[in-house]
Structure 1
Amino acid sequence: MRGSTAGLADTLASGSRAHAALLEAADALFASALVAPAVVTYWKSTWTLMDLYVLPEHQVSSAAACAAFGLCCDFLFCVFQTQLSKHLSPDRGRLTYYVLSRLYTCVAGVACVGAWRGVWNLLNECTGDSARTLLSTTAAATLSLAALRALRNICAAPFAVAVDTPQDYFDVPTMFRTNSRETVLYVLDCVFSVTVVGSLVVFVWRGSWALLDIFLFPEDTVRSCWTSLIVGYALVVVTFALQAPVRWAAARLHGAPRLLLADLYHLISFVATVNVWRGVWGLLDIYFFPESPKLSNWCSHVISLALLILLNCSNSVLVRGVYIDAEEPAGECVVFPCHYLRLFFHKERTKKRHRRALQAAATASRKSEEASLPLQIPEEKV
């Protein structure tokens, strides 16, 4: 769910400081107010449609089927990412690339939701939902991810926006960064990344969500969801506001202290994220055609996915890849990958500079040709 920001700071560093701060605030607002609700709506609708259509009378079989389908698809997309990037590119036809890449997102999105739903529900069946069990499994999964330096993978929108760029559209980073030419090691790396790290992330989300269900106004669903939404967005504002000082501190730390700071900051952002997701998810159930679940969820599914595709950030719905804690240099390790507007304006500035360079080169070439023409001497009249 979480992307890397390595190199982005240098790439986007242009313009005045005030202009950069304004774009950063606009990106945070865009991610929080538009992308996050759309991503949550997609996940909620897809999850509920699976509840309605995938073996609804057999919960364990339904969960197992979703887990098998989702994990297998995630594994295949991880293993064959190099081939997908090679054979699906704009160079082979922009329309073909656009259609097939968005079809990939549709299938991969369903696979991601299926894998999460399957593992989540199987865990419910195996461990139950007592507060003590939830606390122990959540703590164990969190510590395991921290030990693997993969805790940042619990973050999601509004703290991550995946822009649909052709360069890395199909990229799925693996835990040990093995090369696809090392076939056996690469396959094992993909298996570990998809099943072990991916399942640990589900454990953390499931435990945190269920604990909120238990302790946050369990007798009043409406009040509980609204409270989650308000608390979540309040923490989102605080987390984004703290990014500059935390980045300053991280740039001056090294080793374990820097890693600890990054992990604590990601945990705060995760608390905000899970509250926002739970609030939006529950309020959709309460207010959006509650008497017609099929109509409600099909509309939500189509509208949210179409909106994200039109905004060119449909890959934000995907849970894929393993990102390492504090792998970026200096303070970039605590910068959230929400660079939608900044990347757009950077691309436009790059295009303008390229056009100006071409015009300057054409002008210089024309002047050079004119200077090299032989001097024309008019014939004297006889």
Structure 2
Amino acid sequence: EAILRWLDFLIILLLIGPLTVAYWRGTWSLMNVYLFPNDDVISAWTSFAIGTSVSLILNFAQGNLQNKFARRNVVFHVLFRVYIYVFGLAVVNHWRGCWYILDKYTNMTVLSAVISVIVPIPILLVLRACGNLVAAPGVILVDISDTPFKVGTRFAAEVSISWTFIGDVALTVIFIGSLIVGSWRGIWLLFDIFLFPTDKKNSALSSVGIGYGTLFLLVLLEAPVSNLLRQTRKLSARILMEDAFKLAAWVGVLNVWRGFWLVCDSYILPDNPVQSYWITHGVGIGGLLLLQGGRSVLVAGCVVDGETVDGSGV
């Protein structure tokens, strides 16, 4: 069992994680090339509008999609992959738009980076939504699921045509989602500023080392922390332990993303960037779909900190 656990971890860390980053890097960069490349402001706001609109539509449609494609036939499997691809494009555009809007209106300075972190994090703590900062390889979503179209919302409102559900979806997608983008941007920008700022390759490899080192350490701590959480009945204590673990995982995951993103920039056809973007976009999504991990590109939905009592919160 221990061997299988470590094998699973290595597949996630060395395949799912890098493929997810490759897809995001390729997709994000292609938007830079094709979406109003001569006007950064219009490009950013268009990305934000596309991303949030499509994400909201797919969230609102989850009940209908689940009912319409209840049978697992060939049509379902084809359309589900199309759904993953479209949803992935939407999420990347939401992040890209929000990120560039912050860059444009707050500048790319240390102060901007710090504010970008210290404002969202307390709000996420209060909303018990810090776990949503973590992406692949810290957490993955497999494509085999009884509820493939289900997207979690903060208050788990029943899927229906109601203001409660609409408000819950809007809160999750636009508000919590944008807070997460801001937090990622802040830490990422701080590493850009302070970690070998004039040496892109060393900065990339250092980020990969920091990220993997952090995640390996957390894997060693996962079992004892999980056991401790199972024994902890006090909600506040459970949330505190989970949040500490998840914030550490977030820093590790972010460094893996930043490192591999810069590695792609530096080593994959650096003299032909557009071709490089298409390659990482295609290899990323294609590899993930083959590994049944396509939904890992969807940094979407919402988990609630401290909600589980079986230790699975880490």
Where on the TM-score scale, by shorter chain, does this alignment land: which range? over 0.9
Tell me the amino acid that sits aligned with residue 135 of structure 1: V
Tell me the amino acid that sits aligned with residue 27 of structure 2: T
Contact preservation (8 Å) 1:226, 1:283: yes
Deviations 1:192-216 (A, max 9, x none): 1100000000011000100000111
- Residue 303 of structure 2: which of 314, 319, 323 is its match? 323
Deviations 1:321-365 (A, max 9, x none): 11100111132222xxxxxxxxxxxxxxxxxxxxxxxxxxxxxxx
Aligned residue in 2 for 1:271:
251
Tell me the amino acid that sits aligned with residue 308 of structure 2: E
SS of match in other structure, 2:119: helix
SS of match in other structure, 2:236: helix
Aligned residue in 1 for 2:179:
200
Gaps of at least 5 residues in structure 1 are 1-18, 335-382
Contact preservation (8 Å) 2:305, 2:313: yes
- Residue 203 of structure 2: which of 213, 224, 235 is its match? 224
CA distance in 1, matches of 2:164, 2:247: 31
Tell me the amino acid that sits aligned with residue 262 of structure 2: G
| Pairing 1:298–2:278 present | yes
CA distance in 2, matches of 1:108, 1:181: 20
Deviations 1:16-39 (A, max 9, x none): xxx2x2222111111101000000
Aligned residue in 2 for 1:354:
none
CA distance in 2, matches of 1:206, 1:161: 21
Tell me the amino acid that sits aligned with residue 233 of structure 1: Y
| Pairing 1:128–2:145 present | no
SS of match in other structure, 1:250: helix
Deviations 1:67-95 (A, max 9, x none): 0000000001111101111112334xx11
Deviations 1:91-125 (A, max 9, x none): 4xx11011111001111111110000000000111
CA distance in 1, matches of 2:266, 2:112: 28
Deviations 1:226-250 (A, max 9, x none): 1001111111110111101111222
Equivalent positions of 1:1-382 (< 5 A) are 19=1, 21-91=2-72, 94-181=73-160, 183-253=162-232, 254-334=234-314
Tell me the amino acid that sits aligned with residue 269 of structure 2: F
* 1:222 CA displacement: 1.0
So what's the TM-score if we normalise by structure 1? Answer: 0.80
CA distance in 2, matches of 1:181, 1:318: 22
Could you list the structure 1 runs, at least 4 aligned residues long, displaced by more than 6 angstroms after superposition. none
* 1:273 CA displacement: 0.4
Number of positions where the alignment pairs a residue of Structure 1 with one of Structure 2: 313
Tell me the amino acid that sits aligned with residue 291 of structure 1: D
Contact preservation (8 Å) 1:66, 1:117: yes
* 1:166 CA displacement: 4.2
Tell me the amino acid that sits aligned with residue 142 of structure 2: V
Contact preservation (8 Å) 2:229, 2:309: no
Tell me the amino acid that sits aligned with residue 70 of structure 1: G
CA distance in 1, matches of 2:294, 2:259: 22
Tell me the amino acid that sits aligned with residue 41 of structure 1: A
* 1:133 CA displacement: 2.5
CA distance in 2, matches of 1:168, 1:307: 22
Gaps of at least 5 residues in structure 2 are none
* 1:137 CA displacement: 2.4
CA distance in 2, matches of 1:281, 1:201: 19
* 1:190 CA displacement: 0.8
Contact preservation (8 Å) 1:90, 1:166: no
Greater Cα shift, 130-139 or 309-318: 130-139
So what's the TM-score if we normalise by structure 2? Answer: 0.97
Aligned residue in 2 for 1:373:
none
Contact preservation (8 Å) 2:212, 2:252: yes
Tell me the amino acid that sits aligned with residue 226 of structure 2: R
Deviations 1:120-154 (A, max 9, x none): 00011111122123112201111110110000000
Contact preservation (8 Å) 2:22, 2:283: no
SS of match in other structure, 1:198: helix
Tell me the amino acid that sits aligned with residue 151 of structure 1: C
Contact preservation (8 Å) 1:88, 1:100: no
CA distance in 2, matches of 1:137, 1:313: 30
Q: Which has the larger radius of gyration?
A: 1
Tell me the amino acid that sits aligned with residue 104 of structure 1: Y
Question: What's the Cα RMSD here?
Answer: 1.1
CA distance in 1, matches of 2:183, 2:5: 29
